[in-house]
Structure 1
């Protein structure tokens, strides 16, 4: 495998990101193509692409808020997003299933954290399923609480990294 590389998303990435998102998330968890396109258009600095062998194999995207409300569904459409706000809220961390199990999610997260520090952000918030709590703890996140969100009909847990 060639060395994976990182870059900021562009509008032409929306369809491939949607394909990865729908292949990796269950049921109604996946963002729509429209939401992904909106996230790229409104906050490309917060949309990190991972490429290998000439193709997009994963991505992370998020938005920024002054006050973080993890159960706020409207924020997933970047309603209330302010690129100058100090707190990042990750919406998706996803790797194509064909590329999973190779450390790509950790590589993506490490690079994302590095870039958010470079933008002088103060914290990164995310929600994950119980099976991913330990992974995020290994990556430096602190467990906050079970989330009030029932996004996609699933149980979620809130995690926080102070930068």
Structure 2
């Protein structure tokens, strides 16, 4: 799926086109890093070096939401793996990425606060779900906090219980979506 998706959001009673597309370049990467730092506390936000390594290793798994000629307002990313699980090591060790792995992971789904609650995250997730299916994946895995379990269930994810993850010192839940 190399086809862009376009929809509209309303900001201050003005309609704005949003394009969902695969990330392309270093400018996208810099904006992704900035968005991560707005959306997550420092203990949970991915470090710059991790994003640089991820982007170099699996750029094809970065999907962005863009407005106004290359201004990003959100993104989703993750690697692929052979196991239907998301251990903490995957976040930091790009050598564990399996390009032909059976499962797409979701490391983060970030949308800038002023663009939330307008479907941006939903469009990002659906785009990644669709390309994962097209790429022949068996399913997707992610971890989330308690208050987001119901959100991911609406896409088809099933709650597997509390995760072994201690990422950022928080409690996470394992979620899986088998296609």
* Same topology, TM > 0.5: yes
Q: Is the 8 A contact 1:22 1:30 kept in 2?
A: yes
Q: Is the 8 A contact 2:20 2:123 kept in 1?
A: no
Matches within 5 A, 1:6-85: 6-9=20-23, 10-54=25-69, 55-71=71-87, 73-77=88-92, 78-85=94-101
Between stretches 2-11 and 141-150, larger displacement belongs to 2-11
Q: Which has the higher helix share?
A: 1
TM-score relative to the length of structure 1: 0.93
d(CA) in 2 for partners of 1:37, 1:154: 24
Matches within 5 A, 1:147-158: 147-158=163-174
Q: Output the aligned Cα RMSD.
A: 1.3
Higher-Rg member (1/2): 2
Q: Cα–Cα, structure 1 residues 68 and 161, in superposed 2: closer, same or farther, change >3 Å? A: closer
Where structure 2 has 5 or more consecutive residues not aligned to the other structure, the ranges are 1-14
Q: Where does residue 136 of structure 2 map in the other structure?
A: 120
d(CA) in 2 for partners of 1:74, 1:93: 19
**How much has 1:139 moved relative to structure 2?**
1.5
Runs of 4+ in 1 over 6 A off after TM superposition: none
d(CA) in 2 for partners of 1:80, 1:45: 16
d(CA) in 2 for partners of 1:40, 1:6: 17
Where structure 1 has 5 or more consecutive residues not aligned to the other structure, the ranges are none
Between stretches 7-16 and 121-130, larger displacement belongs to 7-16
d(CA) in 2 for partners of 1:110, 1:161: 12
Q: Is the aligned partner of 1:133 residue 2:149?
A: yes
**How much has 1:69 moved relative to structure 2?**
4.1
Task: Show CA shifts across 1:9-42 (max 9, x none).
Answer: 1232222111110111123110011111221111
* 3-state SS of paired residue (2:21): strand
